[in-house]
A and B are shown apart, each in its own frame.
Chain A
Amino acid sequence: SQQGEEDPQALSIQEGENATMNCSYKTSINNLQWYRQNSGRGLVHLILIRSNEREKHSGRLRVTLDTSKKSSSLLITASRAADTASYFCAAQRGAPDKLIFGTGTRLQVFP
């Protein structure tokens, strides 16, 4: 069954604004990953945060992880129209690195 739940399900913003997506999961994890999916395409890995990390940055992306609340957030700063896509969190536990995906947030960035 799906372990992750994402909030909001859909988000519409203007270019230049920041977009924040939240993810909650149910059990202990080894790490949490965020992926992006353009419509009808495969997923692309964005960023990985380990269970002993609290915050990580990559370019315009900022990810936080709160293991006590079993939640993570993805912040995209200064959004662009090209950021329009669905974003999924994925909790990894066990071996090999099986990922349990959330339901995703559909982000629409208007130029």
Chain B
Amino acid sequence: SQTIHQWPATLVQPVGSPLSLECTVEGTSNPNLYWYRQAAGRGLQLLFYSVGIGQISSEVPQNLSASRPQDRQFILSSKKLLLSDSGFYLCAWSEPGQGVYEQYFGPGTRLTVT
């Protein structure tokens, strides 16, 4: 069966520090991968998605970047965090291709920038 992992679960970082959040998926090949951010009490905002290694699409201009160095690994990064980067970050995957598929979410990382 497929599983998705995210770490760390929580993170407190000072303004201006770098960020690296990691997401890995097991039990599937060539998944579509997604990074979302959820502000407190709000819905999810799609940040990045990837259909393959090295293929990253950005949905909104921001202080963050994403990379996919391996088929089932998706990394969210920042060189210098801003206060506004605080939030709940969720990674998700879906089956490859252009069919109609649900997305499977990881447990999330709660980031607080101080």
Contact = CB atoms under 8 A, between A and B. Distances in A.
B94 interface: yes
A111 interface: no
A52 B61 CA distance: 34
B103 A99 contact: yes
Contact of B32 (A30, A44, A90, A96): A96
A68 B84 CA distance: 37
Interface residues of B, number: 28
A36 B95 CA distance: 20
A104 B42 contact: yes
A4 B43 contact: yes
B43 A42 contact: no
Contacts, number: 66
B36 to A, nearest CB: 8
Interface string A72-105: 0000000000000000101010011111111110
Q: Which among B34, B44, B45, B98 has the highest number of chain A CB atoms within 10 Å?
A: B44
Given A40-B110, A96-B49, A102 B43 contact: yes
Interface in B34-91: 34, 36, 42-46, 49, 51, 59, 88, 90
B102 A43 contact: no
> 5 tightest A-B contacts by CB?
A42-B105, A101-B43, A95-B98, A45-B102, A101-B44
